[in-house]
Amino acid sequence: KGRLALVTGASRGIGRATAVALAEAGAHVIAVARTVGALEDLDDEIREKGGAATLVPLDIKDGDGIDRLGYTLFERYGKLDILIGNAGALGAISPLGHIEPKDWDNVFAVNVTANWRLIRSFDPLLRKSDAGRAIFITSGAAWKSTAYWGLYAATKAALNSMVATYAAETVNSPIRANLFSPGPVRTHMRAAAMPGEDADTLPHPSSIAPSILKLASPDLTETGQVYEMRQARFLSFRA
Ligand code: NJP
C-alpha cells in the first residue's frame, strides 16, 4: 500500500494482470508499453477498481527514454519501490541458422539490454526505498536446450545471469532482486509460440499475478533466486 511500482509490458498479458493486481493492492503503478490504446484500457480498469496509474508509452528499446523516465520519477517521487521487468519478445522459433540478424538483435534488445537499462536507471531510485524490489520475468526455456527455441532461450539465460549479478550487488542493501518463471500462461506470446495449443487449458494471467506480488512484498527475504510458478517455490539456479 502506498508504494510506487513500475511495470514494463503492462499493456497485455502477465504485465497487465500484474499492474492491475498491484493497483488493487494500493500501489501507484507506472505502466510502460508501446500500445497507447491498450494502456488506456488498463487505466480504465485500474480506475474502476479505485486504483491509480501513470501511463508511459515507450518502446523499451529506447534506453535514453528509460533514463528520462528515471529522472522524471526521481524528481516527482524521489524513489521507486517495485520494478517489474516483464516486457518480452519471442522472436523466430526456428533453427539458429535461419534466424535473421535483425530479429536476433531485437529479441536481445527487449529481453536483455532493456532490462539492463532499467537496472542502470532505476537502481538509484530503488536504493531510496526502504524495501526496493526488482523482479524480472524469465522463462523455463533458459534451462532447456529445445530445438528452434535458441534465440529466446539465450536471451532468458542472459537475463538470469544479469539478475543474479544484480542480486549480488545489492545483497547488503534493502533491495531484493529475483526472477519469476511463470510457465505456460494464456497470453499473446504463448499463442504465437504454440499456435495449435488449446489456450483454455492454460492459466489466465490474473491467476499468476498474486505470486509476482509476493516477490514485491517488503517482507521478502530471498534474493538472486527464481520463483518457479509451477513448483510454487524458490529455486537456486546458481550453485
Ligand atoms: O506476453 P505478451 P506475456 N517496448 O506478448 C510488451 C514471459 N513468459 O504476457 O509494447 C515496450 O502478452 C508488450 O507491449 P506493447 C515473457 O518472455 C511468458 O506472455 O504494447 N513494451 C506487451 O505488453 C515475457 O517476458 C510465458 O506491444 C514491449 C508485453 O511486452 C513475460 O512473460 C512463459 C516491447 C508482452 O505481452 C510477459 O509475456 C514464460 C517493447 N519493445 C515466460 N516489446 C507465457 N506467456 O507462457 C514487447 O516462461 N513489449
How does pLDDT run along the chain (239 residues), one tens digit per residue? 789 999 999 999 999 999 999 999 999 999 999 999 999 999 999 999 999 999 999 999 999 999 999 999 999 999 999 999 999 999 999 999 999 999 999 999 999 999 999 999 999 999 999 999 999 999 999 998 899 999 999 999 999 999 999 999 999 999 999 999 999 999 999 999 999 999 999 999 999 999 999 999 999 999 999 999 999 999 987 53
Burial of 59 (0-12, 13-18, 19+ CB in 10 A): middle
Q: Look at residue 177 and give its three-state secondary structure.
A: strand
Picking from 73, 76, 74, 158, the residue whose alpha carbon sits closest to that of residue 109 is: 158
* Ligand 1 pocket member 203 (CB < 6 A): no
CATH 3.40.50.2300 at 4-235, yes or no: no
Burial of 65 (0-12, 13-18, 19+ CB in 10 A): middle
Q: Tell me which long-range contacts 24-29 makes (C-beta under 8 A, separation of at least 24).
A: 24/49, 24/51, 25/1, 25/213, 26/1, 26/2, 26/51, 27/1, 27/2, 27/3, 27/51, 27/81, 27/82, 28/2, 28/3, 28/4, 28/52, 28/53, 28/54, 29/5, 29/53, 29/54
- Residues 163, 92: Cα–Cα separation, whole Å: 24
Alpha carbon of 172 to ligand 1 centroid (Å): 31
* Ligand 1 pocket member 60 (CB < 6 A): yes
* Ligand 1 pocket member 89 (CB < 6 A): yes
* Ligand 1 pocket member 72 (CB < 6 A): no
Alpha carbon of 127 to ligand 1 centroid (Å): 27
Distance of alpha carbon 171 from its chain centroid, rounded?
20
What DSSP string describes 138-160? --GGGG---TT-HHHHHHHHHHH
* Ligand 1 pocket member 127 (CB < 6 A): no
Alpha carbon of 73 to ligand 1 centroid (Å): 23
Helix and strand numbers (H, E) in the chain are 8, 8
Task: Tell how strand 226-228 and strand 233-235 pair up.
Answer: antiparallel
Q: Name the residues annotated as catalytic.
A: 152
Asked if the interface predicted TM-score (ipTM) of this complex is over 0.90, the answer is yes
Alpha carbon of 165 to ligand 1 centroid (Å): 23
For ligand 1, atom 21, name the residue with the nearest CA.
33
Return the C-alpha cell found at 190: 504463448
- Residues 176, 158: Cα–Cα separation, whole Å: 19
